[in-house]
Each structure stands twice: as structure tokens, then as C-alpha cells.
Structure 1
Amino acid sequence: MNSDSVKKGAARAPHRSLFRALGLTDREINQPFIGVVNSFNELVPGHMHLRQISEAVKAGVRENGGTPLEFSTIAVCDGIAMGHVGMHFSLASRELIADSVEIMARAHGLDALVFIPSCDKVVPGMLMAAMRLNLPAIVVSGGPMLPGRFRGEEVNLISVFEGVGKVLSGQESEEWLKGLESKACPTCGSCAGMFTANSMNCLTEVLGMALPGNGTIPAVYSERLILAKETGYQVVDLWRQNIRPRDIVTKESILNGVAADMALGCSTNTILHLPAVAFEGEIEFDLNLVNRVSEETPQICKLSPALHGHYLVDLNEAGGISAVLKTLLDAGLIDGSVKTVSGGPLAERIQDAVVRDTKVIRSLTEPYSAKGGLSVLFGDLAPEGAVIKVGALAQRDFVFEGRAKVFDGEDLASEAISAGRIVAGDVVIIRYEGPKGGPGMREMLGPTATLAGMGLDETVALLTDGRFSGGSRGLSIGHIAPEAALGGEIAFIEDGDLVRIDLKKRTIDWILPEEEKEKRRQQFDQAKGLEKAFEVAGRTGYLGRYAQFVQSANKGAAFRATKED
């Protein structure tokens, strides 16, 4: 289906009359219809400026002979949604974004699409829609925020979250915290470090679905508007050449994305979103490949929150994603033959890229680590996998053993942390926060940031079937699958049980006699576990439906085609 189906022939005269009601000329009606998917709103700092980006995109489309037609999608600010019922809706919004784009594009016979996201779930939601629809498509994000400055130091949103922990532990005053909050987020754009939004915008560029600079050009630079114009121009060329997302996002380009993920030390949430994008494109994604790629790919970038003082603006000045990819390509760590929205192969696109600052993009001979920034752990506590951002740890290969302190939900855990009931050596278990059990798999930035502010991020482990923010750091292990609500082992663990985490072996185990484990399994009531989800979600609203259709974290928390019995 294309726009001819809504505008050609005598039978479509009523349709054309409606296009004329929009003010379209005959010339505009006869040109390709380019959907401009704008996630602008006045709630999300990463999206507040997207009207300007959209106008630039539309100018580029018109310059190259297309007719831009703008429509909107929702967008959730994870920072504002954090720590309360709103976070149940964050990951869940990804599926609604993909669905809404599908509805608009199919209902109106669009020929091609330009996606304008910025923040966490909007980027993957739009990529999922691109793969599902397989219309010529290209992405241009709103760009990253600049860091702020407070008392002579660079700061960002995570500084404020961690500042709460400093106040609770008596290190700083509430007056200090107020000063920090007023300086941490000084511009529009996605928050300044390598958090989830910027991770996904960088990986969109790696996958070939965006022009160079998409991941790193700051939101407030005029260069971002130029990129938007070029994006609008380029999508019309993609339409003329019939280059589609499934020609670009292949198994090989997904592997490139994982390699870049390892080199950049991206958010753990990428290990939810890349599988979901692959799922929409009918590309197999095995979590084991993350560890295989990590073994071969050094981490050559370390940005906030892993390293204070390095932000997306610094990566941009150092050569951007193209320079990172050129470094990996020269070492044979990625496939340069894959297609991109630029029209040619990746190798051609990045052939002139250079590293301009080796403090930000290190050489492969002097990396931050010989292995990648993420690891997937397996073991009897997580037989289907769990994810940790090892690139944000001071040391990567060590064994941590501790006694469990178990909480059925984030709120109870946060209360215990704030009250000082968590001490060095504890293993904090937060369960019933998975895709179904949450529902919506809430991020745990509040607990991790508070622990970091208290100085406990390296001496307390935090395990959950939920997930962590891209801004989380420390011994934080998320995505534990199967989740508690489905009868995963995390449902059976009790206070005082011994947990062993071996980062070198990539294992996470529950140390208890098998007879006792089996006894607890037999006592588990799955219906009761799922009932916890419905207490939050209700049965008639979106979250109730979401809980019925969502798949496990190891499958990207993507929707299954039909509801489970």
C-alpha cells in the first residue's frame, strides 16, 4: 500500500477533497506523502524543542520533492515518571508508540516516514514501527542535553538523584540539593550522559537508520537543525531508491549494534530494546551473543554515569559515533558492508572519520577495558539471563557474596534504603517488578542513585526482575528472568539466603540446598503473584492488557501476537 491508494483515480475524488481541505495543492497531492512522526510535548525536556526539528525536517522533504504530513506520538519522561506509579507506564509506552505509528501510516497510505524521537522508549518504539511497516524510513532525534555546572563541577540529572542519597546520609544539606537541582539540567534535550535515550540514539546511528551525528550533536546546536533538514531531504531519496528498514537493519547490523554497545558502555536497557527491534524484523536475537561480542570488543568510551566529566557533547567533539565505528571497523570488529540510510554501505560512510580526542575515544590498544561494557549473567537465580553494566564498575571481575534482603516491590526497598536498614554486604532483592509482575518493568534509579549517594554502590548488590535506568551504576543487576510473577527463582528467595555473583564467570546463583528450593517452589502460588500486578494495573486499563500480552525480559519485553491462555 502507498499513497496512490488514497489519491489516484476517480474513486478517490472524496479523498482528494479532504487533502484539499488541508490546503494541499495538486502538485503536493501528486508528490510522495512523507509522514513526519513528531513526539513533541510540553512535559518532556527532551521533546520540548521538537517542533523546530520537525519544521527543519519538513523543509528538507519539500526541497527534495516530497509532501510532509506531520502527526504525533506520546512520550514519557523517565526522570519525571521515576519512583512512583508513573514508571509502570514507561516501558509500556513503547508498544503504544509503535502501534500508533502503524495505525497512522496504514490508515492514510503514507509512502515513507521520518521519525523524530528523543527520549528513552520513544526511540525503540519508533524503530519497532519502522521494522513492522517496512516503509522507507529514517530517524533524527532531538539530540542530547548539555551538562550543567554547579560549584565549579559539571553535573546532570543523575547528580541530583545521587544528591538525595548524600542528603539522607548527612553528607550534604537540603539547601545544597536545591542549588544542585537548579543547575543540573540547563538545556532541552535527552539527559547529558550515556543513559538510555542517548544510548538508543547512538545505536540508531550504528544500525544505519539515522545520518551521522544523530546520536551526539547537542540539542541546542544549529548543526542539529541542519541534520534535520538533511534527514528530510534524504528520506525522499530512500523512497525513490526503494530502500527500506529491513534492507538496513539485518542480523549483521544488529551485531554491529551490540559491538558498538559494548564499546560505548551503553545502558542495560539496550538489551531490552535491541531484541524488541529484532523481533519486529523477524531477526533472531540470542542473549548469549551479547557475551560473545563482549569478549571480543573492548570498551573504548566511558561517559557519565560510568565516568564523571565525559558527556555526549564530549563524544561529539571527539569524532562522534562515526569515529567509534571507524576504530572498530579497522580492527575487524564490525561489518562495514551493511546498508545505511545514507545510501551506501557503512564502511563508505565512515571512511573519513577520525578520533579527535583519545581521552574520550581510546585506542583499542589502551581501552578502558579489554571487554565490553555490558554482561549477561546466567545461573540458577536467572536461568534465562540477567543484565549488568560492568563498564560502570570500578572493577569488573570479582565475586560478591551476601545475604538477601527481600522486598516485594521498589517502594518497600526504597523505604529501607532511606531508613539506613541496608548495609555493606547486603544483597537487596526487588521482585514483582518484571514486565508482567510490575507490570511494566519499572526502572530502579531511585534505589541505585540513593545507594551511590550513600557510598554503598560498590558494597551492596541490588538484584531485580525489573530494570535500571541508563543512569544507574554500581552492582545493579536487572532483567532477571523468569520474573517472580511467572514463578522464576527470584520468587522463592527469602531474607538471609546466600547469593553469589561471579562477574568473571558471568554467573548469579542462589546458595541453598536443592531440597529446600524445591519445597519453596511447591508452595508458590502463581495466581497470587500475578494478582499483585493487577492490584497496580487494574484489569480494564492499558496496564492490565499490557500484562496479558507482554513477553519476558529476555525476549525484549515485546508483545506476543496473541494473549496467553
Structure 2
Amino acid sequence: MSDTPKNSRALRSNFGIGSSFWAVRRAQWRALGLSDDDMTRPKIAVINTSSELAICFSHLDHIAERVKQSIRDAGGLPFEVRTAAPSDFIHSAGSAGRYILPTRDLITNDIEVQVEGAQLDGMVCLASCDKTGPGQLMAAARLNIPTIFVICGYQDSGEVDGQHVDIEDVFLGAGHHAMGAISLDRLTAMSENAIRSPGVCSGMGTANSMHSVIEALGMSLPGTAPVRASGTKMLDNAAEAGRRIVDMVWEDLRPRDILTEAAFENAVKTVFALSASINTVKHLQAVATEAQSGVDVYGMYERFMDDVPVLCAVRPSGTSSIEELEDGGGARGILKQLGPLARGDARSVAGKSLAELLEGYTPPTDTIRPLSDPISDRPAIVMVRGNLAPDMAIIKLGLRYDRKLKVTGPAVIFEQPNDAIEGVRTGKVKAGDVVVLRGLGLKGGPGMGMASRLVFAIEGAGLGADVSVVTDGQLSGLVNKGLVVGEVSPEAHGGGPLGLLVEGDMITIDVLARRVDADVSPEEMARRAAALPAPALSDQRGWLSIYERAVGPMDKGATLGPVDS
């Protein structure tokens, strides 16, 4: 922690008295009821994604008020700033889910415009649904002003006929219903009872994964992820973060002081130890890119996947509940149990190193296993390459090593998710096939379409153990049944190998060899590539058109605009 005393350094938000910026700002803020003394204080943005469109965000205004009051009490001046608020379950209805990933970057740019344009001194980010945490982290890394995160909690789930049901079960159940595997009455009952409070999905999907990653990176106070959205602990955490950000501004403790290689190592290892979401890969890489850190997150996943065992597996990957993980120590417990695998030299918004924060700490329950007795010593996320994915692709296995880990089958190719689902329903897709769903990538979408409905339809048709999927689209961070290779890079659009396949080409997925290949010679691939027309921009309008033109490569996290090489 810096020894710099409070009030001893100039704040960028304080302009020279009598200057144009000072005069017009004073006129605006005096009209808001602020005093001249208020205007000398550290000016803190409270980044809020409140929205009435999704239950994930419905409680954030209450949290924002707690944070703002705490900032005032600590001598700061809070300003609430709103951004886009995407929910996968709501906003994936339009354009086949292609708005979801691009909205992450819209959040980042929302924050830049409002915080950098106004020259505020610090930020408190309210992390909620899947894309808010990553978008906020990217903004923190880009702007590099003191920033702290408040983890805004997971929802309570329910029961149907004595059986646990949550939103993930509803998502999967819809795929089963589409194939006739469950009744409409059953699906309706599940949707009626799945959610019992505000907050994010209660499984170890992308939201809870990213909440744990935020703490593992050192960007939230220790012991704050995951957390019940319906409890008082979350509000206490919010108040503490509001107090802490004011000190961080005076200390000039910035995100790039924290987002070091050691921090990213801890985050990646936390993902493996929790059997967490595959979507963390591209989000962490995007944060590293925005921080101009030079960290190769994809390389870290490849390097560490065989070294880090699974220490806790929350539904749907395992049998533990998210409540049990929280009560067992959460991200802090994971980092403690990782022992020598964790980088103790990483820093935190608390102003201490990870080693200092974990000194004397013992997880309160045995939910999180020690390194000596893991749930599994095999990687829950497998990074693969091959002639279909020369850059990279991802398989989320979780704990499912009791199934076929090497399959070979003929390609059955679809360009649209609905066509693929219809192919499953009508019997075009058969046991032993490898379904190729392509054209859903960053530019081909544009915006990276969602492939999970196809995966769930295959499972609902009873083909989950016998049909594999290879796609350049993105997948649910929660439930991926069967052997599914996602986010194939380079994507099909623009001549990637996935776009060169023809119906019937034999594909081999070999988990243990870390390969995904087509039995097509390099010469034949080159011939097919030469026959392709030059890629053209889509006729998409609006935000997706902007995204298509600006998005960078997946290995840089699919960030917008130029990136450092």
C-alpha cells in the first residue's frame, strides 16, 4: 500500500479555477446541488448496468445507493453512470444471439466515453451478468484509473416436484422439449420455479466464473465472490468497496499495477480449479490486451491445463451448489487450496499481495478440496489445435472423462442454428455424425452467434453421446453436453479451414491428443480455398455492422480497434 497521505496529490478531475472547464462544470454541478467543497473531492464513477429487462440487474440500483453513500462517507463524490445491460437469456433472441459478445465491447466504450470524457478519478464497477464484468474489466484496463469491483451476486433457484431447478435447467429443458423429450407442462413448471430472487445464474456459468476471476485477478476485495444476491454480505461488501476506492484514488493504485502476469496466472488457474466457463478464455485475453500487458492468456490456458486439478465442481459441471462454494471460501478458498500453484506476489485492490491476504486463512468447510485430494486431476477445459483449428479451439469437458474421448465421423454441415436444429429433428443428423455449424464467428456472424441451442437439441434427441459438434460459434458457459468443439479459430468466414469442409469429410476429435482434424490433404484444402470468392461484408446495419468492421482477432480477445502485436 502506498505511503502517500490523503489529499497530497493533484486530482485530474480538478481544473484550474477560472478556466473554461472549471466554469462550465461548476455551472452544471452547482445546478445539481453540489457545493464548491464537493467539487474538490475524488470523483468516483459508480458503473451500473441496472435494467428492467432481466432479473440479473433488477437489484443493482439498491447496491449503487449503498456504494454511493459509502463513497460520500469516505470523502469522495460519487456519480452513477449507466451502460448497456445484456442478458444472454433476453438479448440472444435477436440476430441469433449475435448481439451478446459485441455488447461486452459496447459496455467498455460506454464507460470510456463517460469516465474518460469527464476525467473522473476512479471507478466502482457493479459486476453482474455475463458480459458486464468482462466489459468493465476491459474498461478498467484501458483507462487505467483506480478501480474496484463489487460482485453483485447470484440468484436463489427453486424446485419442481422436489427436484432442484434453475435457469440452466430451463435452457436445457427447452432443447429437450423441442425434440419431444419433455412436455410443455413440465417446461412451463420449470420456468415458473427456476428463479426465486434477483442475481445471476446460480450455476458455474460465465457470470459466477467471471465473478471468481475478478477476485482472483485482485480486482475485488478478498472474500467477495461468489455471493448471494439475496443476502446482507453483498451489501456489506459494496459499502466496503465504496470506502476503499477513495483511498485507492489517493494512493494512485491503478489496474495495471494489479493486472500483471501473476494476476492472470491466478485467474486462469482458478478457472481450471473450478471447472469454470470456457468463455473466461476470450474475456481474460481481452482484458490483457486492453491492459497492454503482453500476456498471452490463450497460451496460459494451454500451458496450465494439465497442471491444475479440479478442486470444486459446482452444478452443472459437478454436484456442489454455488451456495456451498461461497460458504466454503469461494475464490479465496480456491486460491488458498491451490497452494504453491498460486502466485503469491500478485497484488490486490486491498493494497496487499495475495500471499499477505491468504496468510493465516483456512477455508471454513471441505467443499474445496486440497491439491493432494482433488475431485479430478484431468483438465475441465481442453484447448485443441489441428488442421481445422490451427489457431485454437476449446472443449469444455468438465468431469466427463467416462465417455468417448476420440471420435471420427462424417461432417454434416449447417450454416444456421435453426437449420441445424431442424436437421436433428428430422433425422438428417444421425449417430456417429460430426455436426459442423459454421459462419457464426466474429466477422461471419457478425458478432459470434450462439451454438448452444443446437447442442441441447442433440441432447434432447437422445444423441448426446453419439453426435459431436464443431463450430466457430460460442457456447454456453454452463452446460455443454456431448463432445463439442467451440470457438474454432480461424473462423469459417474469410477462408478458415472450417469454411472449406464439404459434406461427408471425415473429422476426428481427439481430446487426449488435443487435436481436431479433417481427413483432407493440404493440397485439397488449398484447392478449395483458391475456389472461394473473396469474403464480403454482410448487409448488417447498426452496431453489428460497426463490430464486424472493427473487431480484432480471437487470439487478442476479440477487442475492437488496433491492438499491440
Bin of the TM-score, shorter chain as denominator length = over 0.9
Distance 1:370 1:380 in 2: 28
CA contact (8 A) 1:457 1:473 kept: no
Deviation at 1:320, TM superposition (A): 1.1
Q: Aligned to 1:384, what secondary structure does the other structure show? A: strand
Distance, in Å, in 1 between the alignment partners of 2:461 and 2:37 is 63
Q: Which residue of 1 aligns with 2:528?
A: 520
1:161–1:450 Cα contact (<8 Å) kept: no
Q: Answer whether contact 1:6 1:108 (CA < 8 A) is retained.
A: no
AA aligned to 1:438 is: G
Task: Work out which of the residue numbers 460, 470, 473 in structure 1 matches 2:477.
Answer: 470
Tell whether 2:383 aligns with 1:383.
no
Select which of 439, 450, 454 maps to 2:446. Answer: 439
Structure 1 48/431 Cα, relative in aligned 2: closer, same or farther at 3 Å? Answer: same
Structural mapping, 1:445-524, within 5 Å? 445-474=452-481, 475-524=483-532
Structure 2 counterparts to residues 202-281 of structure 1, below 5 A? 202-281=212-291
Superimposed CA distance per residue, residues 75-95 of structure 1 (whole angstroms, 9 cap, x where no aligned partner): 111012335416111110111
- 3-state SS of 1:163 partner: helix
Alignment-derived partner of residue 74 in structure 1: 84
2:3 corresponds in structure 1 to: none
Alignment match, 1:402 = 409
CA distance 1:34–1:514, shift in 2 (3 Å): closer
Distance 2:169 2:68 in 1: 37
Shift of 1:4: 4.8
Shift of 1:56: 1.0
> Equivalent residue of 2:306, what SS?
helix
Q: 1:153 aligns with which of 145, 156, 163?
A: 163
Identity value in percent: 35
Deviation of 1:396 (Å):
7.3
Aligned equivalents of 1:353, 1:366: Cα separation in 2:
19
Asked if 1:355 is matched to 2:363, the reply is yes
Distance 1:397 1:362 in 2: 27
Asked if the contact 2:151/2:226 (under 8 Å) is kept, the reply is: no
Q: Cα gap change, 1:13/1:559 in structure 2, threshold over 3 Å: closer, same or farther?
A: closer
SS at structure 1 position matched to 2:518: strand
Are the counterparts in 1 of residues 68 and 242 from structure 2 also a CA contact under 8 Å? yes
Closer, same or farther: CA 316–455 of 1 in aligned 2, 3 Å: farther
Instruction: Tell me the CA shift for residue 452 of structure 1.
Output: 2.8
Residue 16 of structure 1 aligns to a residue whose secondary structure is helix
Shift of the 280–480 alpha-carbon distance from structure 1 to 2, 3 Å rule, reads same
- Is 416-425 or 248-257 further displaced after alignment? 416-425
Which shifted more, 82-91 or 407-416?
82-91
* Further displaced range: 405-414 or 493-502: 405-414
Distance in 1 (alpha carbons) for counterparts of 2:13 and 2:311:
49
Structure 2 Cα separation of the partners of residues 187 and 451 of structure 1: 31
**Is the CA contact (8 Å cut-off) linking 2:12 and 2:120 kept in structure 1?**
no
Structure 2 residue aligned with 1:551: 552
Partner of 1:21: 31
Once the two structures are superposed, residues 460-485 of structure 1 have per-residue CA deviations (whole angstroms, 9 ceiling, x without a partner) of 21111111011231212111111111
Could you tell me how far apart the structure 2 residues matched to 1:37 and 1:278 are?
A: 21
The aligned amino acid for 1:448 is V
| Mapped contact 1:437–1:483 kept (Cα < 8 A) | yes
C-alpha distance in 2 between matches for 1:262 and 1:161: 24
Contact 1:315 1:361 (8 Å CA) reproduced: yes
Contact 1:158 1:449 (8 Å CA) reproduced? no
Paired position in structure 1 for 2:146: 136
Q: Answer yes or no: is the 8 Å Cα contact 1:497–1:511 preserved in 2.
A: yes
Is the Cα contact below 8 Å between 2:13 and 2:43 reproduced in 1? no
| 1:552 CA drift (Å) | 2.3
The yes-or-no answer on 1:338 pairing with 2:339 is no
Equivalent in the alignment of 1:306: 317
User: What letter is aligned with 2:74?
Assistant: N
RMSD of aligned Cα (Å)? 1.9
- Using the size of structure 2 for normalisation, the TM-score is 0.94
* Contact kept? 2:108, 2:139, Cα under 8 Å: yes
State the SS of the aligned residue for 2:159.
strand
Does the C-alpha gap of structure 1 residues 111 and 168 become closer, same or farther in structure 2, counting only changes over 3 Å?
closer
- Report 1:37-186 matches (<5 A): 37-82=47-92, 84-85=94-95, 87-186=97-196
The amino acid across from 2:450 in the alignment is E
SS at match of 1:26: coil
Within 1, Cα distance between the matches of 2:317 and 2:224? Answer: 22
- Tell me how far apart the structure 2 counterparts of residues 2 and 481 of structure 1 sit (CA, whole Å): 46
Q: Over residues 347-390 of structure 1, what are the superposed CA-to-partner deviations in whole Å (9 max), with x where a residue is unaligned? A: 222234333443x3222223222133211100000000001112
Kindly state the Cα deviation for residue 223 of structure 1 after the two structures are TM-superposed. Answer: 0.8
Q: Give the aligned partner of residue 6 of structure 2.
A: none
Is 1:305–1:392's contact at 8 Å kept on the other side of the alignment? no
**1:190 counterpart residue number:** 200
Distance in 2 between residues matched to 1:22 and 1:221, nearest whole Å: 33
Query: What is the rounded CA distance, in whole Å, between the counterparts of 2:67 and 2:351 in structure 1?
Result: 18
Greater displacement, 47-56 / 508-517: 508-517
The answer (yes or no) to whether the contact 1:47–1:117 under 8 Å persists in 2 is no
Aligned-pair distance for 1:2? 7.5
Runs of 5+ consecutive residues of structure 1 not aligned to the other structure: none
Given that residues 376 and 399 in structure 2 are in contact (C-alpha distance below 8 angstroms), is that contact kept between their aligned partners in structure 1?
Answer: no
Distance in 2 (alpha carbons) for counterparts of 1:333 and 1:273: 22
Question: 1:37–1:115: 8 Å Cα contact kept in structure 2?
Answer: yes
Map residues 526-541 of structure 1 onto 2, 5 A cutoff. 526-527=534-535, 530-531=536-537, 534-535=538-539, 537-538=540-541, 541=542
8 A contact 1:102–1:133 mirrored in 2 = yes
SS in structure 1 of the partner of residue 151 of structure 2: coil
Rounded to whole Å, the distance in 1 between the matches of 2:171 and 2:425 is 13
Runs of 4+ in structure 1 deviating by more than 4 angstroms, as ranges, are 1-7
| Cα distance in structure 2, aligned partners of 1:43 and 1:179 | 21
1:7–1:13 CA contact under 8 A, matched in 2: no
The letter for the 2-side match of 1:293 is F
Deviation at 1:9, TM superposition (A): 1.1
Displacement of 1:172 in angstroms is: 2.2
Following TM superposition, by how much is the alpha carbon of 1:397 offset from its aligned partner in structure 2, in angstroms? 7.7
Report the equivalent of 1:421: 428
CA distance, structure 2, for counterparts of residue 16 and residue 396 of structure 1: 66
CA contact (8 A) 2:337 2:369 kept: no
Tell me, what secondary structure is at the counterpart of 1:486? coil
Contact 1:37-1:71 within 8 A present in 2 as well: yes
More moved, 192-201 vs 420-429: 420-429
Q: How many pairs are equivalent?
A: 551
Q: Deviations over 1:4-35 (max 9, x none)?
A: 55544122233212111111122211211111
C-alpha change, 1:396 and 1:133, in structure 2 (3 Å) is farther
